[in-house]
Structure formats: structure tokens, C-alpha cells
Amino acid sequence: MIQTLPKGYDHMRKREHRIYNPAMECMDREQLRELQGERLKKTVKLEYDNVPVYRARMDAAGVKPEDIRSIDDLKYLPFMEKTDLRDYYPFDLLASPKKDIVRIHGSSGTTGKPIVSGYTQNDIEVWSEMMARTLTAAGCTQEDIVQVAYGLGLFTGGFGGYQGANRIGAMVVPMSSGNTQRQIMMMKDLGATILCCTPSYATYLGETIREMGIDPEKDLKLKAGCFGAEPWTEEMRQRIEQLLCIDACDIYGLTEISGPGVAFECLEKHGMHINEDQVIAEIINPTTGEQLPYGMPGELVFTTITKTGMPMMRYRTHDICTLTDDKCACGRTLARMGRITGRTDDMLVIRGVNVFPSQIESVLVGAEGVAPHYMLIVDRVNNSDTLEVRVELTEDMFSDTVSHIESVRKYITGQIKSVVGIATNVKLVAPKSIPRSEGKAKRVIDNRKL
């Protein structure tokens, strides 16, 4: 266990702040509000004219595009939810013709189907700009070598890091996730200076590097990392920084909005700057939907104002946090969001993957020999998230042969991985051994310290 900061670590933290687009990131807040208002009006009209589902909602709410004159009128627009992407899968929420959609990204949905979002070339450019700002805030320049260890696929993480580094002009090493020994070999041989991956994988990389006898300060050239896609703590940040001798910066994003880069930390590490010229952030009361002032905790809501493929109007993230518009010491005037402190729904984020209990339940309902009583145990072991699924056997199956029970366990394990996309530890338990409740059943125990 490392008890002290590595030699030279304090000096690393005093690097100068870099800003990719000062005109936007340091804009006077009144001018920013005017820009947001103009972009909002255009996006609302685009949505109303081209997305029948949302047009119907606006009509039902008695709102027309011409009623939206500034961001003060945002509160009159109807909300959108993650369920909308499932209900109108795959293309009913597109605001642009399919011929203009150049890429699809997605994440797991509650029924096993991915929730997808269509990106026009404009959207790719907007996203690349946001990720360029993100990497620049961590100290990246065109002289740097960026190792991207997020997955490359439907998940937006890998493409986000790749595009941002490309925009800056840095060298990119698109390693994708996994294959740790090769990751470390390439990191060392190519001289990677910036690392992009989940915080849990960064921790694992750091521990493995130390176990291999590699001194990150002497043998590697890493100076910073951009880590997101899963919740992490200040304690985990300190652990990563100590293991890898780097600045570990938090980033935030959603496939539905624009992937990673929606918000990012600078080297001050006092909240994530929101790219407000591209999105408008609100905090609402999750029960009433009422807008809340800066500084009050509530549900985070985003509205895209430059996205053309599948714009999102007042998209409820279900993440709980606070916002502040205090000017940062780095010089940026963009509002900042604090760490996510919880959620208003039952979604879990495990190793960067969205998992809903209903996904697990859909597998268990159709499985042989198990009862409709289950429990999900989420934990963090060696800085990596784990998910154990406990499910009761029926009386008949409980008295069956060990080999048959094991075959059922393996079948359920495989089906769950197919639906949610991650490995789980399935544990078949005796009938009536899972606690019952007279009220709403408690399906999830999350032992992670968030």
C-alpha cells in the first residue's frame, strides 16, 4: 500500500492550465445565455418539425416553437426519458433523415435491446470539440500520446477519446479495453502520456504495473488521465494518482447527449465544467419537475442545443448532483457539476455498463427451476465492481442432482451476460432464503462507497 505521494508529484499538479477554446470556455455568462437561447430556439424548431413524438408532447403541453424565446422558457418544454429511446427504438426520435446519420452509438437497454442514438457528421464534430476541450483541460497537447483503453464499439467511451485526441492533433493509441499486459507494454514502449479508461481499470493497470516492478515515474511517461463511465470516489482518485504518478481527472457523458465530454474536470479538480455552448444543464426536483437554483441538490437534466441527429429536450439523467456557476481558478466561466451522489431510479452502473434489475429479472422469469425471488449484491473488490446475483431455487430443483443445478446456474449466467453485457457471479440459494418484504421488495444491495 502506497502511503505517500511519489517524488515530484506535487510539482506535477502545478502545471499551467490549458484551454482549447477560450472564446467559448471563458465567455461572459450573459453572452453565453444569449448564445444558448439562440441555439435552443433553432433546436426546438428542428425537433418540433421533424420528430412527431415530441411535437405531440409539445402540442399537448400547449407549447409552440415560437413560445421559446430564451433559456428562461426552457421550463415550458416537456421532459424526455431514457424509456423514450427504448419505446421509440431505433429511429423514431431522429430529427434528421437516416441518410444523414453517419454513426450509431448505444448502451444496454432494460429489455436486452440496446438504446441507440444517431449521430450526424455535425454531431461527431461537436462531440470531438467537447472531447478536445476535455483532454486539453487535463494537459494534453499535439505533442502528447493518448492511450485510449475504453472499449471501442457501440459504447461511446473509446470513440470519444479517439476523436478528441485527433482534434487536438495528438498521437492516438486506440488500444480498446482489456489485454492488460499488452496495454502496459504499449504504454511503456510508445511513451503514452495521457490515459483514457474507466477509473477501476486505471486502478488495475496501476496495481499491475507496480506488481511487474515498473516504476511509473521513471519507466513511464504518463502525466494525466481522463476517467469516467462509472462512479468513483476521491479516495479512488488518490489511489490512481499515487499508483500512476498522474493527475486523474473526472469526465461525464451520456450516449443520449453526446458521449464522454459533456462535462470535464480541469486540473483544479473542483467540479466538472459543462460544455454549456453545446448543452444546457438544469437541476430539478425529481418529484415535481420544478427547476432548482444553483447549489441545491437535485436531478440533472440536459438539453442539447447543437445536436442535429437525435436532439434531446430536457433529458432526465436521473443522476443526483449540484451545479455552480462560480468562476473557476482555471479561467473558465462554464458552470460546473459536482460528483454524482446517487440516482432517482434503480439503474446501476457497473464497470461502465448500465444495468437495470429488470434486465436480470427478464432472464430469471424464463429460467428453469428458479423462483421469482432474487437479490443483486453490488460490491467493489480491489477497486473493481462486482455483481452477484442470488436467486432462489424451486423446491423441486433444490432436491435435484448437483449436476442439473450447476447446468441451470451456467445457463442463467450465460443469459445474463448476453443481456447486460458483463460477467456476473450467479449463486443459486435455497427456497425462501431471500428476505421477504411486506412492501416494495428490496432487490439491490450496493456495498460500494460512492
Rounded Cα gap, residues 443 and 424, in angstroms = 16
- Residue-by-residue DSSP string for 250-292: EEEEETTTTEEEEEEE-TT-SSEEE-TTTEEEEEE-TTT--B-
Q: Is the pLDDT of residue 117 over 70?
A: yes
Among candidate residues 233, 310, 218, the one with its CA nearest the CA of residue 269: 233
Instruction: List the domain boundaries for the chain.
Output: 9-30+81-345, 350-446
Q: Is the pLDDT of residue 2 over 90?
A: no
Radius of gyration (Cα) for the chain, nearest Å? 23
pLDDT at res. 28? 97
Angle between the N-to-C axes of helices 402-420 and 357-365, in degrees from 0 to 180, rounded to the nearest 10: 140
pTM for the structure as a whole: 0.79
Least confident range from 229-233, 305-309, 365-369: namely 229-233
Rounded Cα gap, residues 273 and 264, in angstroms = 5
Is 3.30.300.30 the CATH classification of the domain at 350-446? yes
Least confident range from 195-204, 209-218, 260-269, 284-293: namely 195-204
Q: Is the pLDDT of residue 144 over 90?
A: yes
Among candidate residues 286, 419, 289, the one with its CA nearest the CA of residue 343: 286
pLDDT > 90: percent of the chain = 70
- 352 or 43: which carries more pLDDT confidence? 43
Class of domain 9-30+81-345 (CATH, top level) = alpha beta
Three cell numbers, residue 375: 437479490
Three cell numbers, residue 19: 484551454
Residue range 179-188, pLDDT digits in tens: 999 999 999 9
pLDDT band at 97 (very low <50, low <70, confident <90, very high): very high
Least confident range from 9-18, 167-176, 369-378: namely 9-18
Q: What number is the average pLDDT over the span 160-176?
A: 97
Q: What number is the average pLDDT over the span 344-356?
A: 80
In Å, what is the CA distance from 134 to each residue of 131, 163, 206, 347, 380?
5, 11, 22, 26, 27
Rounded Cα gap, residues 115 and 83, in angstroms = 9
Q: What angle do CA 339, 341, 345 make, to 5 degrees?
A: 125
The residue length of the chain stands at 450
Mean pLDDT, the chain, integer:
90
Three cell numbers, residue 174: 486506440
Distance of CA 348 to the CA centre of its chain: 11
Residue type, 428: L
Rounded Cα gap, residues 259 and 366, in angstroms = 34
